[in-house]
Amino acid sequence: MEVLHDLVGFQNFKIFQNTDWFSFSLDSVLLPNFVTLNHNIERVLDLGTGNAPIPMILSLKTNAKIVAVEIQEDLYKLAQKNIDYNHLRDRIELLHLDMKKLREIYLPDTFDVITCNPPYFKYLKTSHLNEDEHKVIARHEKLITLEDIFSLCFYLLKNQGVLGMVHRTDRLVEIIHLANQYHLEIKRLRLVYPKENSDSNLVLIEFRKNGKTGLKILPPLYVHHSDGSYTNEVLNMFKESETDESK
């Protein structure tokens, strides 16, 4: 069923979602609030954009041209509907294709910043899969692997360009190992916790292409108070509505 909501507290934006498919989650709010943006960037790319929450939020934070890519036709159509409804066609270019084919469209060193909220789980014969194909593709590396993504990002990023990613904490060692193989140096890291005194389940990571060694570990991010309500930091992310390129 298709529904229309505020974009998680962003009163200026509405977002269409289909409750039968894979709706975007808090991860898609955390990532655009984490990745480094500045006045010098010209082109931003969001990989696996779904129904486009990340590029929509990014459009509030940078004046750069944003390109968003989605392989699933149904989600692509929903993303296009969101972009049109919110009058963002001049800010966000939406592409319907397998992201691996971006090599055929763009020259190397094209983008200043890439964001990616990739599938979190490996695709194995023994994997417990949802019957809905939309959810399988969104959650599992059925169409693209983590290594494919790093290889693609190294190709597309400008020298010293930034890749921002949100992923599961339990894959952090593998993530860093693969990124290093493609000369993507981890520069900033922030562990995300459902609440205090719990284990981290997500990690926000920023890499720099051909970056120098040197890692900054940011304070932990707690999503909920013990009563289940959002923490003030997360609530403040929902309230941001003006372009911010000061990072």
Q: What pLDDT, in 10s, does the model give residues 83-97?
A: 999 999 999 999 999
Q: Are 112 and 42 in contact (CB under 8 A)?
A: yes
Distance of alpha carbon 182 from alpha carbon 191, whole angstroms? 23
Check whether 139 has a pLDDT greater than 70.
Answer: no
Q: Which range among 80-84, 114-118, 237-241 shows the weakest confidence by mean pLDDT?
A: 237-241
pLDDT at 112: 98
Identify which has the larger pLDDT, 137 or 235: 235
pTM for this predicted structure = 0.86
Q: Hunting for tokens 């149904």 — which residue is that? A: 74
Q: Which helix (H) or strand (E) covers residue 138, if one does?
A: helix 133-139
Check whether 4 has a pLDDT greater than 90.
Answer: no
- pLDDT category at 98 given cuts 50, 70, 90 is very high
| DSSP 8-state class, residue 197 | T
pLDDT at 144: 86
Distance of alpha carbon 73 from alpha carbon 208, whole angstroms? 31
Identify which has the larger pLDDT, 208 or 135: 208
pLDDT at 242: 44
Mean pLDDT rounded to a whole number for the chain: 86
Distance of alpha carbon 196 from alpha carbon 4, whole angstroms? 32
The residues facing 7 across adjacent strands are 10
Say what percent of the chain tops pLDDT 70. Answer: 79
**Torsion angle (degrees, nearest 10) of CA 139, 153, 15, 3:** -20
pLDDT at 244: 46
Distance of alpha carbon 215 from alpha carbon 193, whole angstroms? 20
Identify which has the larger pLDDT, 54 or 18: 54
Q: Are 156 and 107 in contact (CB under 8 A)?
A: no
* Chain center to CA of 208: 16
Average pLDDT over residues 191-211: 97
Coil, strand, or helix at residue 27?
helix
Say what percent of the chain tops pLDDT 90. Answer: 69
pLDDT at 14: 79
pLDDT at 133: 55
